[in-house]
Amino acid sequence: MPRPVPLAGVHRRRLATQRLTAAPMRGATDVVRHLLAVQSQDAPLAAWSLAMRSRSESYAAVLAEQAGLGFVRTHVLRPTWHHVAAEDLRWLQALTGPRIESGQAARHRALGLDTAAKDRALTTLGELLGGRNALTRREIQAEFAARGLPHGGEQMGHQLATAEVRAVICGGPPRGTEHTYLLVDEVIAHTPDDDLPTRDRPGAIRRMVHRFLSGHGPGDERDLLRWANIPLTESRAAIAELVEEGILESLTVRDEAGEEFILHADPTVRPRTTREHAAYLLPTFDEVTLTYARTGFPLARATLDRSRLIAEAGGGTVVIGGVDVGLWKRTVTGRKVSVTIHPERPLTEPERDAVDEATARLTAFHE
């Protein structure tokens, strides 16, 4: 029988599993590898997410690791940006890319991006980026325009995303505030498991499920569906197999409303809480705030609406004592960082001090 665990205990364990309260990992690349993929459309705050979990505690340090291509930024898992470790890129794209691309088929037709147009785009990208010639989106767009290829804003975005999910291109070293692109085959070495989804799809699903729960657990198949859009039938089968073999453990969780859930976690990944902070400024797209479909952090007021955050960048939620108590926004102007806090309930003096400490950590990250 699954052992009972309070929901607050689940939240504490996730903070440790994700290395927010446990000993920091050596570098940002180690965090990306541990979490398998890290949502990153808000690139500066995605770097903050990595810094909070590692000894790469400044924006410059995280960017230096990214420039070394230990991890890259690309569209994977879902039609949005993620950081992913170089050795995981090809098999993850082979597993999730076809589903992403098929989901965009109607939009591609509306944009005039038929098979021939996409093939021309892939060929052109190979010519432009060959020889490790890192180019920005604007530079690529200008070249497409000069060659008479589709180059409108949305057309360009979808052509680049298609090349990413097919593992033709990936993010290169950042150039100032702009992102660049490189050819995957020129900068990422092949591994024996690149084609795992093709020769053993159940094995690839099993690997994804185990890696996901090792980095994000406790969680369930609904969390995995939101995270990677893997069909429930496949994720449930993999979870059942891993539980039966003792590789995953099951936990019974009852929330404040009395509803029960069965969550799963890797019993070998139980990092101790060694550096807990009283308050956290968590980005909107942080893996510990956005991943969990039904068992995320409780809200200070049940009537709060967090759905609008999904489309926002530059800020996130304030978490104190495992409770989402408000919002924060960060603005960088030159050498000045401004952080605005919007609490959803009155904060005590110790809580305000904790938020001040969290703000100091964020501004130190920006040096």
pLDDT at 332 over 90: no
pLDDT at 109 over 70: yes
Per-domain residue ranges of the chain: 279-365
The reported pLDDT for the residue numbered 177 is 82
pLDDT at 212 over 70: yes
Confidence of residue 310 (pLDDT cuts 50, 70, 90): low
Task: Decide if 319 contacts 297 (C-beta within 8 A).
Answer: yes
The reported pLDDT for the residue numbered 311 is 58
The reported pLDDT for the residue numbered 182 is 98
Task: Decide if 154 contacts 108 (C-beta within 8 A).
Answer: no
The reported pLDDT for the residue numbered 256 is 76
Calpha distance 279→43 (Å, rounded): 22
The reported pLDDT for the residue numbered 72 is 97
The reported pLDDT for the residue numbered 308 is 65
Higher pLDDT, 80 or 257: 80
Residue 112: enclosing H or E segment and its boundaries? none
Confidence of residue 333 (pLDDT cuts 50, 70, 90): confident
The reported pLDDT for the residue numbered 309 is 67
> Please, is 93 exposed, middle or buried when counting C-beta atoms within 10 Å of its C-beta (0-12, 13-18, 19+)?
buried
Higher pLDDT, 366 or 136: 136
Calpha distance 169→160 (Å, rounded): 8
pLDDT at 83 over 90: yes
Confidence of residue 293 (pLDDT cuts 50, 70, 90): confident
Please report, rounded to a whole number, the percentage of residues in the chain having pLDDT higher than 70.
Answer: 98
Neighbours of 6 (CB within 10 A): 12
Average pLDDT of the chain is: 93
Give the β-pairing of 71-75 and 81-85. antiparallel
Please report, rounded to a whole number, the percentage of residues in the chain having pLDDT higher than 90.
Answer: 83
- Rounded alpha-carbon distances, angstroms, from residue 295 to 6, 164, 219, 261: 11, 32, 8, 9
For residues 99-116, average pLDDT: 95
| 25-71 pLDDT per residue, tens | 999 999 999 999 999 999 999 999 999 999 998 999 999 999 999 99
